[in-house]
Amino acid sequence: MLGKEYKKFNELSLFSPPPVLRGYMYGAQEAYKARDSNRLLAIRLETNTSCNLHCRYCYAQSGEDSVKIADFNVLKRIISEAKELGIRSVVVIGGGEPTLYPKFRELIAYIDSLGIVPMLFSNTILMTDELAGFLYEHNASVMGKLDSLKPEVQDYLAGREGVFEDIKNGLGNLLKAGFSKPAEPGKLRLGVSFVSNKLNLEEIEEIWHFCRQNNIFPNMEILTPTGRANDELEDQLLTADEIKEYKLRLLEIDRKHYGYDWLPYTPITASGCLQHLYSLYISIEGNVRPCAPTKLDEHPALRVNGEYPYNVKRMKLREIYDSELFTYVRNIDKMLEGRCGNCEYIKECIGCRGYAYSVGINNGAGPLEALRMECQQCFKE
């Protein structure tokens, strides 16, 4: 078992970095190079708020009764403007379930036609053999969902009975279509999101092994106190000690069984999250944020004449990127406070800015102060 603190192996180690999901996250070297060159690597797009699930941790509080749909021509314009800023991938995150978007296939085909990687988040419930084949042919990467290997737990977290079987069938169709074959060495095409909380904590190791053995990126996220989770799962948040224990255990598994080494303090397990440096998130209303849970657009202090100004319907993406607020955001590594600001690993990890922001806002901090607070998830001593 690993000791209290992480011991990083030297460059002569036999261990290697773990594989990543192509188009989803970018490493520290790419992230800082993009930031310092004034360019983006990715954008995240909401396409529709409708969803065939009612996940209890959903930051967007999506569901079947929500019917907001993004204009396809507006999405194409956003992507075109983002391409001028240098993006390599478009993360189609939906806001709801993206495969319900009326022009979903046209959107994926358009992204692919520009030489950009379409990176799709989906619960895979509607993932037929034919749709999986379409996505494979259009160079997509896919992030599915697998919160539990127990039907009753998965169904509870997703808010609907029978979801476990639907998810299993959808993932099976993606595997049959070839998504378990890496796009290139170290870059996978299939991942599954797992929102860790007290209900599924004991299953983490089993899901981790399943992913590693099937060339699936394990997207271990930590339940964040935002959106629906504030009301429905507040008592299921993990403690810092629980987060520490499972991350160090997974690191031990990766070193022992798969030959991987990684920094355990990063927000997404075995994968850093530096998206504030190189990515923009565009909501269904066109409001631009640094990432999904960093809801700057909902804070009254940032409104001008009652409106949040950083909206793609009112400003060009380049104008938003160059604005004082978003210049501050992508230089947040220079502003961090507390342990994050003094951390020796600051070039690899800036903590979960979304988590820090959510906790800060919930405790009465202003938006800029909340952005730079130390990450309360981190267990580094």
Domain limits, the chain = 20-275
pLDDT at 14 over 90: no
DSSP character for 32? H
Residue 247 clears pLDDT 70, i.e. is over it: yes
Taking residues 218-225, what's their average pLDDT? 80
The tens digit of pLDDT for each residue in 69-121 reads 999 999 999 999 999 999 999 999 988 999 999 999 999 999 999 999 999 99
**Helix 204-213 vs helix 240-253: angle between axes, to the nearest 10 degrees?**
30
CB distance 122 to 129 below 8 Å:
no
Does residue 12 carry a pLDDT above 50? Answer: no
Provide the token pair at 1.
Answer: 């078992």
What count of other Cβ atoms lies within 10 Å of the Cβ of residue 142? 27
pLDDT at residue 148, rounded to an integer: 94
Q: Which two tokens stand for residue 2?
A: 């690993």
Is 56's pLDDT higher than 90?
Answer: no
66 burial type by CB count under 10 A (0-12 exposed, 13-18 middle, 19+ buried): middle
* pLDDT band with cut points at 50, 70 and 90 for residue 231: low
Residue 151 phi/psi, 5-degree rounding, is -55, -40
Amino acid at 157: L
Confirm if 354 and 296 have CB atoms less than 8 A apart.
no
Provide the pLDDT for residue 86.
98
- pLDDT at residue number 18: 96
Looking at 136-236, which runs of residues are DSSP E strands?
A: 141-145, 187-188, 190-196, 217-222
- Considering 6-10, 127-131, 240-244, the range whose residues carry the highest mean pLDDT is 127-131
Q: Which residues pair with 135 in a beta bridge?
A: none
| 323 pLDDT more than 50 | yes
Q: Does residue 224 surpass a pLDDT of 80?
A: no
Please check the confidence at residue 23 and state whether its pLDDT lies above 80.
Answer: yes
Q: What is the pLDDT of residues 145-164, one digit of tens each?
A: 999 999 999 998 898 999 99
For residue 63, the model assigns a pLDDT of 59
Task: State the pLDDT at residue 304.
Answer: 96
Q: Which of these ranges, 152-156, 234-238, 355-359, has the smallest mean pLDDT?
A: 234-238
Burial string for 264-303 (b: 16+ CB within 10 Å, else e) reads bbbbbbbbbbbbbbbbbbbbbebbbbbbbbbbbbeeeebe
Residue 144 DSSP SS3: strand
**Of 40, 21, 20, which is closest to residue 30 (Cα–Cα)?**
40
CA distance 253 to 71: 45
Q: Mean pLDDT of all residues in the chain?
A: 92
Prediction pTM value: 0.92
CB 356 within 8 A of CB 376: yes
Would you say residue 2 has pLDDT above 80?
Answer: no
> What's residue 379's pLDDT?
87
Q: Work out the pLDDT band at 1, boundaries 50, 70, 90.
A: very low
> What is the structure's pLDDT at 198?
87
Question: What pLDDT is attached to residue 4?
Answer: 52
Mean pLDDT of 236-264: 91
Burial of 134 (0-12, 13-18, 19+ CB in 10 A): middle
Q: Rounded distance, CA 143 to CA 160, Å?
A: 20
Instruction: Please provide the distance, in angstroms rounded to a whole number, between the alpha carbons at the two ends of the chain.
Output: 18
Query: Of the candidates 158, 161, 137, 138, which has an alpha carbon nearest to the alpha carbon of residue 148?
Result: 158
Q: What is the pLDDT of residues 121-130, one digit of tens each?
A: 999 999 999 9
Q: What pLDDT was estimated at residue 13? A: 65
- For residues 365 and 358, what is the distance between their CA atoms, to the nearest angstrom? 10
The superfamily CATH assigns to domain 20-275 is: Aldolase class I (3.20.20.70)
Residue 285 pLDDT > 90: yes
Q: What is the mean pLDDT of residues 339-343?
A: 95
